[in-house]
């Protein structure tokens, strides 16, 4: 638990140690929500980080992606 105050322009500065415990870094995106009269701040995952570090569930190649793109384009513009 920590205390703070609302700064100019309503800026909130959570303690650095708390942000580090949550794995947050400068530039991370967050979601704000009010739950039962409390402000809840939730870290949003970085899409690129998810793509690079999540469990892979399928395999493909650049050629297969190109073939699918060509097929869809021929259907759209035929």
What does the alpha-carbon distance between residue 71 and residue 50 come to, in Å, rounded to a whole number? 28
- Mean pLDDT confidence for 22-49: 91
The CATH architecture to which 1-44 belongs is Ribbon (2.10)
pLDDT-derived band at 38 (thresholds 50, 70, 90) equals very high
Q: Looking at the predicted structure, is the pLDDT value of residue 74 above 80?
A: yes
Please report which confidence band the pLDDT of residue 55 belongs to, taking 50, 70 and 90 as the band edges.
Answer: confident
Per the listing, tokens 């793509």 go with 51
Residue 42's contacts (CB-CB under 8 Å, 6 or more residues apart) are: 30, 31, 33
pTM of the model: 0.55
pLDDT tens-place string over residues 40-52:
999 888 888 888 8
Work out the mean pLDDT of the chain and round it to a whole number. Answer: 91
Q: Hey, where are the domains in the chain?
A: 1-44
């Amino acid at each position: 638990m920590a205390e703070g105050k609302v700064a100019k322009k309503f800026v909130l500065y959570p303690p650095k140690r708390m942000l580090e415990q949550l794995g947050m870094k400068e530039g991370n995106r967050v979601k704000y929500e009010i739950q039962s009269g409390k402000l809840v701040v939730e870290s949003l995952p970085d899409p690129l980080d998810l793509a690079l570090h999540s469990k892979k569930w399928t395999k493909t190649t650049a050629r297969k992606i190109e073939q699918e793109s060509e097929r869809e384009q021929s259907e759209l513009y035929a």
